[in-house]
Every structure is written in structure tokens, then in C-alpha cells.
Amino acid sequence: MTQTRGFGAPFRYVQGPDALKALPRLARPHGRKLLTIIDPFLHDRLKRALETYLARTEVTSVFHKFGGECTLAEIASLTKLARQTLSEVICGLGGGKTLDTAKLVAKALKKPLIIAPSSAATDAPVSAMGVIYHPDGRHLRCELLDHAPELVLVDSTLISQAPIRLFVSGLGDALSTQFEAQANALSNTPNYVGPGYRPTLAGLAVAEACQRVIMKKGLKALKALKAQKLTQDLEDVIEANILLSGLGFENTGCAGAHALHTGIHEIEGSNRLYHGEVVAFGLLFQLALEKAGPKKLSPILAFMAKAGLPLCFSDLGLRPSPKNLALISARILDGNSGIEAEPFPVTKPLIASALNQANRLGQAYRNDHPHLPPALCRP
């Protein structure tokens, strides 16, 4: 691996209550004509709000309701629309797939990119990476951008109004960041910055900070969210879910937890699951793969259970049948899933064994704690 270190990040990150009101001022240095791609579930409400914010400014926007899946066809269609409307800036507003589509349209056109997430469900907003899917929702590939967005604008008021399950999914995604960073550091695997570099001390420190904030404040933030209170703890965890987790994974790398996310989408019925829910169970899989002891596993299991994250296959609504385990294993080993960052050779039998062990650990924890609430994703 190269001795050259690399660190990537958005040009600007702005977070706070009603932050979307600042969009015209913050967008203006990049251009006056926006193409704003909005999540279909939020389109009408947010289009009206943005029209109000843009009124009486020199910044205008064409609005497009996102089709729901980040496919090659959707990217091509919106790239054509941006050219036809002479858009100078691409803006994505919504969930992960909406944002990924905006990223890849901006990449195709080499235009400035503004990302405004509607939830803290993943760390996708700050990354220079987009995930492309087949029309039926199966994972196709990840694609790197030339750099992270020019602006990530996080409206914590909007985030606090999103379904609680989305926020919990973000906790699951962020929870894996430090563990995957450690695996990459041990295996000396290049990060995702440009062609891939050795992680900087800053990248590793961000991953550690992410873990510290999630474990210390995650459950308190969840309590505040349920009470509809925008507390400092909630603001801190929104930042951890989005910024710290995003900078952490991109500057250090993914490993077993995200590899499971890639593999599990080969199973019928998995598309109903959120990214962070699968990654959370993927963390248990990674820890089983790495033969982690009770000292490391116990606090993770306790946190996940209290947060409402899945602990086993039944929580995910899936069966660990030999057929399903074979499908997951084959896809994980198919290339670029993240499993290659583990600091030891990984085989199909090892994957199946770790999946079964993670499932047993989660089921045993539930059996030992019968009064736990069910996982939010449980069918």
C-alpha cells in the first residue's frame, strides 16, 4: 500500500434548526440555476418551502420528483434534464437514493453539488460515493465521485420530523464505523479517497469520535426524538450519524459490516430493510468473523437491543437457510463488497459460520432479556 495519506471531506457542512432557509445564500457562490431532485414522499411540501426561500432572490430552481430508485436510467434521464434546463448546480434533497442520484448526475455533468438529507438514516450525504441499483432494488455497484459535495446542508428540524426508524437505522450505520476502520488499519487497505490512500490520523480520530458519541449519547438522543425535543444530544448524534460516520468510513474504509449489506440483498424480501439496519447486524457478523470476545460484544448487543436495531435473522424477517447463506456468501466474495478489508483470508465456510454465530448471539441475548422491545424492522 502507498505511504501517501489522504483525507476527503465536503467543502462546507452546515447543520442547525431550519437550515434549509439558508439554501439561496449558500448556493449562490456555486451558481444561480439549480436542478433540485426531491424525495417523492417529501416533494410537494419541500418544493413549496424552497419556492418560498428562493422567492425574491436571484437563485432559481427546476424541481424534479425522484423516481424512487437510483438506477442508470434515472441518472441518464436527470442528466438530460439538467442539460436542457441549463442547470448550474445539482441539489439533492431527501433520502440516500435520492442523494446518490443527485451525486451521480453532478458527476456526469461536472457540476457543483449540494446535498440536503431529510433524515439521519445514513452517512451517505457527506461521502464522494454513490450506490447504483438495478430497477428491482438489487445492488449493482458503487461509484466514486471526483470529490465530496460542495455543500452538505443539514436541517435538524427536518431531520427530527423523519420517522424514528430512519434515525435508528443511522445509529446502526454509524455504530460500525470504528470497527470497520480498525479492520482496514490492520489489513493496511486503502481508503476511498481518490484512488485510495493510507488513512490519516484525522480519519482514524473521526471514526473513534463517532463511536464515542453514538455509545454515550445515542439512546439519549433517541429519547429526545421520541419526545419531539431538539436537544443538544440529538444535534450531536445527528452530526455523528451523518458527518462523523461519513468522514470516518470514507477516510478509513468499510469492512465486514458493509459487506453483509451487499450480500444480503441477494435474498428475497431484503429490500424492505434500511441500510443501517442491515449494517448493524453486519457488525455482529463482522465481530463474529473476527472472533471478538464478550467484552467487545456485550455493550454492542445491549446498545442495539435498546435502540431497536436487529439482533438476528428473525428480527430482519429473513431465514438463515443454507440456500440464503450460500447466496449471501457468494455475493460477499464476488468482489468489492468490503470483506477484502478484513485482516485475514475470508472463505465461504467462514462467512456461513460467522453468520450463524451472529444469529445465535442475537437470539441468545433476546432470550436472556425477554422484556426487550422488538426490533423496529421486525415484520
* Tens digits of residue pLDDT in 333-344: 998 899 999 999
Identify the pLDDT of residue 2.
76
Statement: residue 299 has pLDDT above 80:
yes
Q: In which residue ranges of the chain is CATH 1.20.1090.10 found?
A: 164-368
Statement: residue 20 has pLDDT above 80:
yes
pLDDT bucket at 136, cuts 50 / 70 / 90: confident
Map grid coordinates 447543520 to a residue.
15
pLDDT, tens only, 183-219: 999 999 999 998 899 999 999 999 999 999 999 999 9
Cα→Cα distances 337→253, 263, 358, Å: 11, 8, 19
Name the grid cell of 345.
483470508
Q: Pairing state of beta strands 129-133 and 139-144?
A: antiparallel
What's the CATH code, domain 164-368? 1.20.1090.10
**Cα 171-301-160 angle, rounded to 5 deg:** 20
**Across the strands, what pairs with 5?**
198
Residue range 301-324: average pLDDT?
A: 97
The domain 5-160 is placed in CATH, from the list 3.40.50.11810, 3.40.50.1100, 3.40.50.720, 3.40.50.1970, at 3.40.50.1970
Q: H/E element holding 65?
A: strand 60-65
**Cα 310-285-200 angle, rounded to 5 deg:** 105
pLDDT bucket at 224, cuts 50 / 70 / 90: very high
Map grid coordinates 420517522 to a residue.
163
Residues 315, 331: Cα–Cα separation, whole Å: 22
Residues 290, 5: Cα–Cα separation, whole Å: 26
Identify the pLDDT of residue 376.
97
Identify the pLDDT of residue 265.
87
CB under 8 Å to 267, separation ≥6 — which residues? Answer: 318, 324, 327, 328
Contact 94, 118 (CB under 8 A): yes
Q: H/E element holding 67?
A: none
Identify the pLDDT of residue 140.
86
Identify the pLDDT of residue 1.
62
Name the grid cell of 313.
435473522
Q: In which residue ranges of the chain is CATH 3.40.50.1970 found?
A: 5-160
Percent of the chain with pLDDT over 70: 100
- The residues annotated with a catalytic role in the active site are 173, 258, 261, 275
pLDDT, tens only, 247-277: 999 999 999 999 999 999 889 889 899 999 9
Q: H/E element holding 133?
A: strand 129-133
- 141 or 17, greater pLDDT: 17
Residues 104, 106: Cα–Cα separation, whole Å: 5
Q: Which range among 81-95, 134-148, 358-372 shows the weakest confidence by mean pLDDT? A: 134-148
Identify the pLDDT of residue 38.
98
Rounded to two decimals, what is the model's pTM?
A: 0.95
